[in-house]
Structure 1
């Protein structure tokens, strides 16, 4: 199963459109916030289910959640934007949430810096930003593959 992971698109349709050909090949897409309305655009452009949360720039959208927990192929995911968990200063808050809730994979955004890291057998993924990369990274997103093994590929656009 291929899962497209994208975040911090910030209503830049031009950059999102560069990701669409890759995302069309996925079985599921995860959008980790900022701007959650972009998740709807991605859904209509790909016809692939998009699970999404709002971020710190999505204050106007009161009906959408700030975090989600869901299962994909027996892996328990925790999805959040990350601003409520101090992700700019480390993984401690997310690690505690993950351990307390038996989470296998944590997906977050907010920092605009790509991360794929395993801590205590928990995978942490931040796809970076398609629009405003930081920390010397490039515009991009990622694709997580769940088969017998788990693999992750950063896609630069």
Structure 2
């Protein structure tokens, strides 16, 4: 199973749009995870129109409609894997342990907020930030992630989009 992972799309803003390579991966995935900061509900609807089911949490710059309609955190299950989702995982110090405590039944946590890609793994528990496909800030490139799930095995890959 292939799960496309994005966060911090921050749209609409000027001519900003998802890169074609990102849209291709989203469309061909079995599911999409979005870790918040869509900005408007129309962006969620655009993602849903691509086909795969979209699992999402709200972010700190999302519209009132998104904040009322999406959870702050959630856990999604695929095959034998459980992935926690939250927008802001807090300060970098102690983040992995904090996420393990916040999502004790999850195998991994996907988050966003910083726009800086990150993947950490400790004793089989993983945290993953896919960066942003549209607003890289201090990251060198626009990015997204792909999670590959095979039974109870989960691997994350960071994809550079430019």
TM-score, normalisation: structure 2: 0.83
- 2:102 is aligned with 1:97: yes
How many Å apart are 1:95 and its aligned residue? 2.6
Change (3 A) 1:34 1:90: farther
How many Å apart are 1:150 and its aligned residue? 3.0
SS in 1 for 2:28: coil
- 2:34 is aligned with 1:28: no
Cα RMSD (Å) of the superposition?
2.0
How many Å apart are 1:88 and its aligned residue? 4.8
Within 5 Å, which residues of 2 pair with 1:4-153? Answer: 4-12=4-12, 14-18=16-20, 19-35=22-38, 37=41, 38-44=43-49, 46-61=50-65, 62-82=68-88, 85-91=89-95, 92-98=97-103, 101-147=104-150, 149-153=153-157
Q: Which runs of 5+ in 2 are unaligned?
A: none
Contact 2:19–2:133 (CA under 8 A) maintained in structure 1:
no
TM-score, normalisation: structure 1: 0.86
Q: Distance in 1 between matches of 2:91 and 2:2?
A: 25
Q: Which runs of 5+ in 1 are unaligned?
A: none
Number of corresponding residues: 152
Q: Distance in 2 between matches of 1:122 and 1:146?
A: 14
Contact 2:115–2:139 (CA under 8 A) maintained in structure 1:
no
How many Å apart are 1:17 and its aligned residue? 4.3
Query: For residues 102-135 of structure 1, what are the alpha-carbon distances to aligned partners after superposition, in whole Å with 9 as ceiling and x for unaligned?
Result: 2101010001011121123211111001122144
